[in-house]
């Protein structure tokens, strides 16, 4: 048996770290020792607060989740570690796994993906979020010469902005209420506009602020006959938007994109594993390092998660360091 520790949301608003004993890996399994995990700020804040709607309990289950919403539940999906036991071609490799926050874990070998050479382990925790951005741009790909506006310069919005900015001939502007995000936008190759500024002609608007005000602003900015792609998940919050006004007269399209299913445009030719493999390859780009805005030891995760959920610990991707477990 291998000793490990795992983070659990015990009840809404309170998390704790619990010990557990792992079995030896069997045939076709790997034992992974964690290096880093990333906190998915929006989704995990809703899980921490117990705000996953009952109708979405099954849909929102994460791979290798234990327990049920609202708690006790072991949740998370941005893990990077080293394979200590398993098949020869994986042993000693740094891998990404959609696993909750845990110091070590045993999973099927097919559940891990090797991190490409040139991608630091800490940056690799962004793979799940970059995968979301890939799926979004499969759902609503920009055309050559387009101006893409991303409302909400959080982690998901920033990942979308970086990928869209890499398309030749495409100009990208991030829109956010925090003027400090202008420096992040510049590092990602995007322009920046405050919430009350007009970024100019908007051929495609991607909404990622997870706020009603942000969605309203996205609908205001998009061109007639244009599309607003909504990546936000609001949990149990009702959201009111003006579906009269310019929405009706402008023949606008509002559609959602969610990473749980491969976008229809690529569903026949790409698997979830293909999509995640692509996300890891895209993380060779060092520009993504600007999104890593803080790190804490694993033992501090209960307090860190409470601060993130309350808004007391701002930033983009806060990572958890498991070096104390070695």
Omega of the bond leading into 70 within 30 degrees of 0 (cis): yes
- The residue out of 240, 256, 272 marking a domain boundary is 256
State whether 148 and 250 are in the same domain.
yes
Q: Answer yes or no: do 239 and 187 share one domain.
A: yes
Answer yes or no: is 176 within a domain: yes
Long-range pairs for 69-73: beta carbons < 8 A, 24 or more residues apart: 70/9, 70/11, 70/12, 71/8, 71/9, 71/10, 71/11, 71/12, 72/8, 72/9, 72/10, 72/11, 73/8, 73/9, 73/47
Domain co-membership, 247 together with 221: yes
CATH code, 145? 3.40.50.720
φ and ψ at 81, to 5 degrees?
Answer: -155, -175
Which residue, among 213, 205, 208, has the nearest Cα to 159 in the 3D structure? 208
Tell me if 236 is assigned to some domain.
yes
268 domain residue, yes or no: no
Q: Please tell me whether residues 145 and 245 are part of one structural domain.
A: yes
Residues 164 and 236 in one domain: yes
Is residue 272 a part of any domain in this protein?
no
Q: Is 161:185 a contact under the CB 8 Å cutoff?
A: yes
Residues 252 and 141 in one domain: yes
Q: What is the pLDDT of residue 326?
A: 39
pLDDT by residue for the chain (326 residues), tens digit each?
A: 789 999 999 999 999 999 999 999 999 999 999 999 999 998 999 999 999 999 999 999 999 999 999 999 999 999 999 999 999 999 999 999 999 999 999 999 999 999 999 999 999 999 999 999 999 999 999 999 999 999 999 999 999 999 999 999 999 999 999 999 999 999 999 999 998 899 998 999 999 999 999 999 999 999 999 999 999 988 888 899 888 878 988 999 999 998 989 999 999 999 999 999 999 999 999 999 999 999 999 999 999 999 999 999 999 999 999 986 43
One domain for residues 88 and 140? no
Residue 287, token pair as written in the block = 């520009």
Give how far the C-alpha of residue 99 lies from the chain's centroid of Cα atoms, to the nearest Å.
13
Total structural domains in the chain? Answer: 2
In a domain, 246, yes or no: yes
Q: In terms of domains, do 86 and 11 share one?
A: yes
Residue 24, token pair as written in the block: 């030896």
Instruction: Say yes or no: 121 and 135 in one domain.
Output: no
Domain around 288? 2-126+283-325
- CATH (domain of 77): 3.90.180.10
Q: Comparing C-alpha atoms, which of 99, 96, 4, 100 is closest to residue 48?
A: 100
Token digits of residue 318 = 């806060």
Give the span between the Cα atoms of 179 and 192, in whole angstroms.
Answer: 9
Dihedral, CA atoms, 14, 259, 158, 110, nearest 10 degrees? 80
In this structure, the answer to whether residues 170 and 134 fall within a common structural domain is yes
Whether 156 and 218 share a structural domain: yes
The whole-number pLDDT of residue 324 equals: 63
Mark whether 113 and 136 lie in a shared domain.
Answer: no
Closest CA to 276 of 145, 114, 45, 99: 114
Where are the alpha helices (H) located in 25-101, listed in sequence order? Answer: 41-48
């Amino acid at each position: 048996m291998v000793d490990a520790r795992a983070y659990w949301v015990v009840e809404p608003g309170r998390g704790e770290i619990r010990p557990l004993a792992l079995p030896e890996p069997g045939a076709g399994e790997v034992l992974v020792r964690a290096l880093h995990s990333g906190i998915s700020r929006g989704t995990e804040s809703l899980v921490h607060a117990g705000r996953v709607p009952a109708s979405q309990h099954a849909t929102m289950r994460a791979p290798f989740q234990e327990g049920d919403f609202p708690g006790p539940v072991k949740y998370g999906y941005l893990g990077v570690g080293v394979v200590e036991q398993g098949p020869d071609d994986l042993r000693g490799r740094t891998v990404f796994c959609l696993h909750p926050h845990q110091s070590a874990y045993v999973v099927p070998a097919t559940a891990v993906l090797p991190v490409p050479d040139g991608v630091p382990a800490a940056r690799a925790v962004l793979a799940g979020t970059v995968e979301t951005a890939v799926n979004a741009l499969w759902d609503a790909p920009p055309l050559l010469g387009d101006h893409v506006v991303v409302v909400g310069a959080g982690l998901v919005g920033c990942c979308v902005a970086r990928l869209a900015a890499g398309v030749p001939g495409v100009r990208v502007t991030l829109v956010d209420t925090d003027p400090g995000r202008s420096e992040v936008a510049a590092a990602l190759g995007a322009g920046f506009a405050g919430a009350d500024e007009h970024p100019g002609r908007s051929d495609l608007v991607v909404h990622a602020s997870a706020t009603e005000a942000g969605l309203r602003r996205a609908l205001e900015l998009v061109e007639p006959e244009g599309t607003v792609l909504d990546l936000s998940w609001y949990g149990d919050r009702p959201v009111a938007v003006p579906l009269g006004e310019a929405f009706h007269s402008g023949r606008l399209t509002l559609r959602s994109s969610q990473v749980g299913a491969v976008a229809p445009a690529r569903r026949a030719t790409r698997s979830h594993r293909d999509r995640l493999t692509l996300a890891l390859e895209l993380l060779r780009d060092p520009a993504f390092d600007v999104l890593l805005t803080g790190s804490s030891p694993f033992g501090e995760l209960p307090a860190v998660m409470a601060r993130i959920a309350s808004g007391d610990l701002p930033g983009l991707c806060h990572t958890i360091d498991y070096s104390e477990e070695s």
